Amino acid sequence: MRLAVNIDHVATVRQARLAREPEPVTAAVLAELAGADGITVHLRGDRRHMQDRDLRLLRDVVSTRLNVEMAATDEMMAIARALKPDQVTLVPEEPGEVTTTGGLDVAANATAVKRAVLQLHDAGIAASLFVDADADQVELAAATGATAIEINTGPYAGAPTTRRGEELAKVQQAARQAGAAGLEVLGGHGLTYVNVRPIAALSEIAELNIGHSIISRAVLVGLERAVREMVALVG
């Protein structure tokens, strides 16, 4: 299983002081040296952490795989077509939210999502949709022409111990459904060093996107060690 490290919160620290450091591009290099299979960033409409210049630098420097999370808006699609990351993951975005709280409602946004997927494919960019572990959402995601889905593991990660098995089963079922529909299956959101192993054991999932837990641990033990420890758990 691949591990993509989300480095958004390196930029969060920088933007808290509107300073020049820490540099997300430096974090990306260190994560790759420690064994990360890819780098993930989220360019939000409010630019609360990652900035446009960060993406340009990352596109030049990342040697593994650059995945950019963004909303399915005209502004973001124009940026994606110019940047040409390896993959764009379409995510929901609400003003004022602390972090992404749920999967993309593909049914409610079908027109915008299909248009975005088509634009990405025309530019030679793989398109993934961040969706909940819900059969209807997975089916609709496959109908958009996307090449992959990232299953929202947040409900699993946040569930009490008594319900975690139930949430894990939902993730596995959604992953099997997506795989049968020809989609590559990724997972992410809320995963930590404590809860990642059951998700990493699902053979239907090819890659995990993990950010907050790795960056939090890196504050204490250093980024390279934090990434290596997560690589070991995922592997």
For 163-225, list the strands marked E by DSSP: 184-188, 207-210
Question: Which secondary-structure segment (H or E) carries 148?
Answer: strand 148-152
DSSP 171: H
Query: 3 with 208: CB under 8 angstroms?
Result: yes
189 annotated active-site: yes
202's CB contacts (< 8 A; 6+ apart) are 171, 172, 175, 187
Positive/negative CA dihedral, 63, 148, 68, 28: negative
The C-alpha atoms of residue 115 and residue 155 are separated, in whole angstroms, by 29
Q: Determine the straight-line distance between the first and last CA of the chain, rounded to whole angstroms.
A: 6
The C-alpha atoms of residue 14 and residue 23 are separated, in whole angstroms, by 7
9 annotated active-site: no
| Both structure tokens of 15 | 């933007």
Query: 3 with 230: CB under 8 angstroms?
Result: yes
Which of the following is catalytic: 32, 49, 189, 207?
Answer: 189
| Both structure tokens of 49 | 């952490």
Which of the following is catalytic: 32, 42, 93, 167?
Answer: 42
- Give me the active site residues, please: 42, 69, 189
